[in-house]
Chain A
Amino acid sequence: MSETVEITCISCPMGCDVELEVNEDDDIVDIDGNSCQAGIEYVKNEYRNPTRILPTTARVKGGVLPLVPVKTDEPMPKGLLDEAMEEIAKVELEAPVELGDVVIENILDTGVNIVATRDLPKK
């Protein structure tokens, strides 16, 4: 028995709806609906190991703002986004913060770091 999975390709603004046919061994046996080669790569990745950059904020004490924007320095597994948010919520940094400062190293053992995306001077 094979199964069809639909994935919207976001490699370009076309946004093709691509259908993947997957057999019982979880092998991709057919890809249909893409308009280009990049689409094939994208949907394969998106099916096997969907990852996302997570942009959010972390709390800061004594800064010109109470929050500093942060992000993952690499894409992280999509399924862990909500859990990562909870981890980041626990952090409270001290100002000053600099762009690139590592806020959490290797979050949830993903090998991905949470880094600050701006300088935040002291108040």
Chain B
Amino acid sequence: MNKQEYELVVVGGGPAGLAAAQEAYDQGVRDILILERDFELGGILQQCIHNGFGLHYFGEELTGPEYAQQFMENVRERGVDIKLDTMVLEVTPEKDVYAINSDDGMLYIDAEAVILAMGCRERTREAIDIPGTRPAGVYSAGTAQRYVNMEQWIPGEKVVILGSGDIGLIMARRMHLEGAEVEAVLEIMPFSGGLVRNIVQCLDDFDIPLRMQQTVTEIHGKDRLEAVTVAEVDENMQPIPGTEYKIECDTLLLSVGLIPENELSKDAGVKMHDVTGGPIVNEGRETNIEGIFACGNVLHVHDLVDWVTEESLVAGKTAANYLQGGIDKREQEIEVNPGENVGYIVPQKITNDVEDRKLVDLYMRCKKPMEHVTINLYSGDKKLLDKNERRVEPGEMITFPVPEQMISDDMDSLKVDIVKEGE
């Protein structure tokens, strides 16, 4: 076995891993290794060829590959070690990392700190329990995206897309532009999880219908997909009998949600959060295991890569602090709890005492869309801070910066709720 030692091992060379490695380097850590399973860095951004990335972080609109390339160049310039085509098989609680590739064989890496940045995977047909046959032609939207944009294959000619999140919308446009017919985009909820601008530019521009509160209830076709049965759903998302109709198609793309990919984390003994599907972390993105950090979509699913970057810089910085002599802990841990109309908040707790910090960013998602809202931050019954938003929706992450000076030693928990303005 090929034994190596590194101060910091970053698992995953997508936007999260790249930004975390870059920041750890800039904070003075020199001995860093990024392990990436694909043949190149950049992660899923490489297949997200559309524009719309980077408005927050770079102040300009980039495509996925452009955004990725910036960070790839940054880590290369810094001389961070990179191993491609390398799969991490195990991370132990002692931060031993087992990984494998064809050149080095089995790698056993003794690391002092580990940043988990493995990203997420797509929910499947099974996750939404669609009965029927099992023909060729049913793909997750991301798999189809890889085929079309990177492998140079078109999966089919007549397409139905289930799910109007951004990936579903983007794929509707891609399939249309590459010559396929997109019959419809179906959304089980009464609202789309995608950005308005994607609904306009990916569907309306090409007259692709978006049908709300409808879902696929059966898949037909023996060899290749032949049709799907679609039904309207009630307020509990249950199909309404009698509303069924068939759409003939040879391809069904599923854009029905993403799940943080935490098999390695769980095996390492990292504690998971039920709602996010990712590790429970403090504001430095450190997990329950000292020296193991997590950032990006492995922690919670982000809608904008800009927030992935911001979060990963935090993780990289904390990992560097940890390696350079440790992190001072607060006397009392502060829990961060979701209140009314808040689905989850990351971080789940504030535990560190950091001298030069001005803000602690809270990332959260609302449970249901609302207009003209106030977002309130409480410590116990005491309101600390609020901000107004014209509109919130579950598809768009809300960032809520909390000034450091508001966080005091006598707090034991913070709570955020989202209510109608004036309530």
Q: Which residues of A contact B (CB under 8 A)?
A: 8, 10, 12-15, 35, 52-57, 59, 64-67, 69, 71, 78, 81-82, 85, 99, 117-119
Contact = CB atoms under 8 A, between A and B. Distances in A.
Interface string B178-198: 100000000000000001110
A66 B152 CA distance: 6
Contacts of B150: 65, 67
Interface of B: 39-40, 46, 49-51, 61-66, 68-69, 149-152, 174, 177-178, 195-197, 199-201, 204-205, 371, 390-391, 393, 396
A5 to B, nearest CB: 13
10 nearest CB pairs, A to B: A15-B196, A118-B65, A69-B49, A10-B197, A66-B152, A117-B63, A55-B50, A53-B51, A117-B65, A117-B66
7 contacts: A12-B390, A13-B196, A13-B396, A15-B197, A81-B205, A117-B62, A118-B69
Given A35-B390, A71-B49, 13 more contacts: A8-B199, A12-B390, A13-B393, A54-B177, A55-B51, A56-B49, A56-B174, A57-B149, A57-B152, A71-B51, A71-B63, A85-B177, A118-B69
Contacts of A12: 390
A86 to B, nearest CB: 9
Contacts of A67: 149-150, 152
B390 A55 contact: no
Given A69-B63, A85-B177, A14 B390 contact: yes
A55 B49 contact: yes
A8 B200 contact: yes
A54 B205 CA distance: 12
A71 B51 CA distance: 8
A118 B46 contact: yes
B204 A8 contact: yes
A8 B195 CA distance: 12
A59 B152 contact: yes
A72 B62 CA distance: 11
A57 B46 CA distance: 12
Nearest to B153: A66
Given A67-B149, A71-B51, A55 B205 contact: no
A11 to B, nearest CB: 9
A69 B149 contact: yes
B40 A64 contact: yes
A13 B51 CA distance: 16
A81 B206 CA distance: 10
Contacts of A54: 177
Contacts of B46: 118
Contacts of B195: 10, 13
Nearest to B46: A118
A14 B391 contact: yes
Contact of B201 (A15, A52, A99): A52
B254 to A, nearest CB: 22
A82 to B, nearest CB: 7
A10 B201 contact: yes
Given A66-B152, A118-B46, A53 B61 contact: yes
Nearest to A8: B200
A54 B177 CA distance: 10
A8 B194 CA distance: 14
Given A35-B390, A67-B150, A55 B200 contact: no
